[in-house]
């Protein structure tokens, strides 16, 4: 309806073809086939232990596929990693505590020099990115002087510094209080609209999945595999008060039922 959910004719950001991940004899993910269109916002839901995080680690070349293939923008995950096509935001901000906010954002520009490919410089300077996430004036603060929400915003700015095409987020706001989470959700959507980055966002909150996602990927556990992909056709740009609408609640209750019989 909104024109962005349709992948026809658009380029593909990530393709998984029959991809599996095994830890010894344990199958964490089995036979995952997906096409993630460029510029889309996907949220990933599923019962705990269904391999949500494993899937992000598969896409980000942290884990190798046991079977099948994963491609990012037509490249292998390794080539995409070397070219900085994607960035990762962890549940914990994972900032280096001895570096200021600005120095943390600059970290990706300093590391990986020996990999033989020049480090891509984004359109925005680290300082502008801190401004984008609303941390102007705090660039010299050390992580322990920032709140949890601020730290996570520094982590997002750091992820954007090489201007990735694909942003992988593993429950980035899971540890934050609801007010902060709402604010950061809206800020993230703004960044997404502005930069056109493709987002893969793992969450265990159904409202968050519906509020952010154009598509919700529902995984099922033991072994982890795709249960269904739900298109969320809500008016854009999304806002927090969308949660009080009947449509939103329909999607939420549908996903809740789907999650229950996983």
d(CA 46, CA 258): 9
Nearer to other proteins among residue 13 and residue 206 (C-beta) = 13
The sign one gets for the Cα dihedral 7, 156, 136, 146 is positive
Nearer to other proteins among residue 139 and residue 220 (C-beta) = 139
Q: What does the binding site for other proteins look like in residue numbers (CB under 8 A)? A: 57, 60-62, 81-82, 86-88, 90, 92, 94, 96-98, 100, 107-108, 110-115, 140-145
Nearer to other proteins among residue 90 and residue 254 (C-beta) = 90
Stated length of the chain: 262
In the three-class reduction of DSSP (H, G, I as helix; E, B as strand; rest coil), residue 198 is classed as strand
CB of 1 to other proteins, least distance (A): 35
- The closest of 202, 172, 228, 204 to 42, measured between CA atoms, is 202
In the three-class reduction of DSSP (H, G, I as helix; E, B as strand; rest coil), residue 35 is classed as strand
Dihedral of the alpha carbons of 126, 130, 132, 137, in degrees to the nearest 10: -130
Nearer to other proteins among residue 139 and residue 208 (C-beta) = 139
Angle subtended at Cα 47 by Cα 43 and Cα 53, rounded to the nearest 5 degrees: 55
CB of 238 to other proteins, least distance (A): 28
Nearer to other proteins among residue 98 and residue 231 (C-beta) = 98
């Amino acid at each position: 309806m909104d024109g962005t959910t349709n992948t026809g004719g658009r380029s593909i950001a990530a393709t998984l073809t029959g991809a599996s991940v095994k830890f010894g004899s344990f199958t964490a993910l089995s036979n995952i086939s997906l096409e993630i269109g460029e510029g889309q916002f996907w949220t990933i839901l599923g019962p705990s232990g269904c391999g949500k995080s494993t899937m992000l680690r598969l896409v980000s070349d942290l884990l190798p596929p046991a079977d099948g293939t994963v491609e990012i923008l037509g490249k292998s995950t390794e080539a995409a990693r070397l070219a900085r096509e994607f960035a990762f935001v962890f549940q914990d901000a994972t900032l280096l505590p001895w570096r200021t906010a600005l120095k943390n954002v600059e970290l990706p520009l300093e590391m990986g020099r020996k990999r033989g490919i020049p480090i891509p410089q984004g359109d925005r300077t680290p300082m502008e990115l801190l401004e984008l996430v609303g941390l102007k004036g705090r660039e010299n603060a050390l992580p322990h002087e920032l709140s949890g929400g601020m730290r996570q915003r520094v982590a997002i700015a750091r992820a954007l510094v090489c201007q990735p095409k694909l942003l992988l987020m593993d429950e980035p706001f899971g540890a934050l209080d609801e007010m902060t989470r709402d604010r950061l959700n809206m800020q993230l959507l703004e960044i997404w609209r502005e930069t056109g980055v493709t987002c893969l966002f793992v969450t265990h909150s159904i409202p968050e999945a519906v509020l952010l996602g154009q598509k919700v990927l529902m995984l099922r556990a033991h072994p982890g595999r795709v249960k269904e992909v739900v298109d969320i056709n809500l008016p854009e740009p999304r806002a927090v008060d969308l949660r009080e609408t009947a449509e939103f609640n329909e999607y939420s209750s549908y996903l809740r039922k789907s999650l229950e019989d996983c």
